[in-house]
Amino acid sequence: MPKIGIMQNNMPELPEVETVKNTILPLIKDKTIKKVTVFCNRLIQSDLETFKKEIINKKILNVQRYGKYLFFDLSDDYILIIHLRMEGKFSYNKNPSNARISSTTLIFNLDDNSALSFNDTRKFGLMYLTTKKEIHSLPMMQKLGIEANKVEISDYPSLIKKLKRRKPIKELLLDQSILCGIGNIYADETLYRSKINPLTKGNELKDEQFIEIFKNAKIVLEKAIKLGGSTVHSFSSNGIDGKFQNELLCYGKVNEKCPNCGTRFHKIFLNGRGTTYCPNCQIDYSIKKAIGITGPIGSGKSTILKYLEKKNYLTYSCDELIHSLYLEVYIKNKISKILGFNFDVNNDQNRKEAKELMNNNPLIKEKIENFIYPILEEKLTKIIKENENVAIEVPLLFKAHFEFLFKKIIVIEISNDKQKENLKLRNEKNIDSSLKLNSDYSYLKRDDVYVIFNDSSLEELYSKINQILA
């Protein structure tokens, strides 16, 4: 019993519906509907009695698709409009006695003694019988925009005008009256490839960014069509699984690492729809407003933080924030479980043992970082959102991938001799093992990064800071 459709929590989008069309067409083309049985009346959106009467003895001439809709072209100029919605799917059975299951909402018996069933667990699907003459006057058809995989350069001006609205771009891409066929999966993939945050308002985007969206949407959709759509849970089409899920770069990968920058993917909910994005590749400029300070131990981070505090900046140290987090019972218990012993951040011996264990066991260190970084990020985001003129000392800013939080990042570099001198002044033990200069210079490629070599007087250091702040 071949199944043709979608079984997933996301509404099938253009590529999945195209796959259903391609699969179902050879099974039912040129066959005549001899009987129809409706088990769920609300499936039929046109007049029910007219539907039952007029569809009998109609030959299925073709199956077409527009956006997320399927269209059965029938004889006598009739058209059956179908929307699968969340979980609608077709089953084709050569033996009609096997056609009905618990979720079946309709069965077409065909003239070759086969049966086509429509199964819909949640009963959200719809069918509407109309004619070729009337179809274009139907409100549901009039509201459909241009198909996202068929946008041409000549369509750009009108589409950009429709998308320049005070709504999040992700929400606008899901509006079928503007671009037809894009749903949750392909909106996330398109915005990720276009490096645009899903919360960015349409009227905040430049024309070039819209053009990137159009181009990437077409690329993503065409590739998905070629691969049979995306299997998110159990998409199945006549035994053929959608292969595009293997090509997904962003969607459904919350907490996995972004292939572009290594930042963990975030997930938010926008109008109830799960939305996955990379905060560093898809920057939310509304929160990118603080100053971040980073560099190796003993390089002068605290000195700069104190200077900014005198200039009326609200200042925070991530070392102090993490210390306070480790005092919380839930976090303390989780860290203790990862380490394998009862951890007390106020116990010097405990801290020493934890540091040695993490240095000798990178996997344990990674587990702790993967646990604490998201919690710290949430705390930093809240601080930055709620305040202006914030400066934060973040020793592991780049390793934790917190770049997206800061409008300016001050990186302090220092010579070994000067670093040793500073560490001696603060009575640091094991100075040689504490020496750690920046070895990853990838940050130099960023426009928001300012590198300071702290090798002279405080006055010169403050002068460099003032130039950055100007």
Question: Hey, which residues are catalytic here?
Answer: 12-13, 68, 273
Instruction: Identify whether the C-beta of residue 409 lies closer than 8 Å to the C-beta of residue 465.
Output: no
Q: Distance between CA atoms of 129 and 78, rounded to whole angstroms?
A: 7
Report CA torsion sign: 442, 445, 448, 454. positive
CB 74 within 8 A of CB 62: no
Quote the CA–CA distance of 131 and 133 in Å, as a whole number: 5
d(CA 333, CA 321): 17
Torsion over CA of 347, 351, 356 and 360, rounded to 10 degrees?
130
> Which residue do the tokens 């398109």 mark?
190
Q: Of all helices (H) and strands (E), which one includes residue 72? A: strand 69-74
Q: CA-CA distances (angstroms) from residue 98 to 28, 59, 107?
A: 17, 23, 11
User: What one-character-per-residue DSSP string does 293-337 give?
Assistant: EE-STTSSHHHHHHHHHHTT-EEEEHHHHHHHHHTSHHHHHHHHH
> 157-160, long-range: CB within 8 Å, 24+ apart, which pairs?
159/210, 159/214, 160/207, 160/210
CA-based torsion, 268, 443, 201, 177: positive or negative: negative
- Show Cβ contacts of residue 329 under 8 Å, excluding neighbours closer than 6 positions: none
Consecutive H or E run containing 123: none
* CA–CA separation, 54 and 34 (whole Å): 11
The secondary element (H helix, E strand) that includes residue 82 is strand 78-83
b or e along 355-393 (b: 16 or more beta carbons within 10 Å of the residue's beta carbon)? eebbeeeeebbebbeeebbebbbebbbebbeeeeebbbb
How is 206-223 classified by DSSP, letter by letter?
-HHHHHHHHHHHHHHHHH
